[in-house]
Amino acid sequence: MSSNIPEFPVNSGPATANITPNPLSGRQRLDMALAHIQPDSDAQGISAPSALTMSELAEPIDRVNDVMRAYNVQFELSEYEGRIVTRIVDRDSQELIRQIPSEETLRIAETLEQRQGRLVDWEA
């Protein structure tokens, strides 16, 4: 299986040779990190609970952030109108890489909740 991790040349010169930093974007670093995470064999076939609370997610997110520190990416959790929102952020620049659910999805859900019961207009 080929790896997407870039190969760095072996330094055969003096120890003071300049090494350029990896110019990957936050999204590229996240994709590389996620490609190396294998699901637990014990967790396969077991369905996850339907609703988790912020306190139940705190420890797993801390563990993920410990692993992702090497890729300079961090996960942040917040709550918006009863929904848990996960943000993946570049540690250095604090640039948002991805948000789940997206802002658009949150707006759609909010609009649907406001219009609940008014989507279908039946006449007898």
- Output the pLDDT for position 56: 84
- Output the pLDDT for position 4: 52
- Output the pLDDT for position 31: 78
CB 57 within 8 A of CB 100: no
**Is the confidence at residue 87, as pLDDT, over 70?**
yes
Going from the C-alpha of 77 to that of each of 60, 82, 88, 119, 122, the distances in angstroms are 11, 12, 9, 32, 41
**Is the confidence at residue 44, as pLDDT, over 70?**
no
**Is the confidence at residue 39, as pLDDT, over 80?**
no
Q: Which residue has the higher pLDDT, 72 or 122?
A: 72
Q: Which of 39, 32, 23, 38 is nearest to 4 (CA)?
A: 32
Going from the C-alpha of 78 to that of each of 53, 66, 72, 123, the distances in angstroms are 11, 19, 20, 42
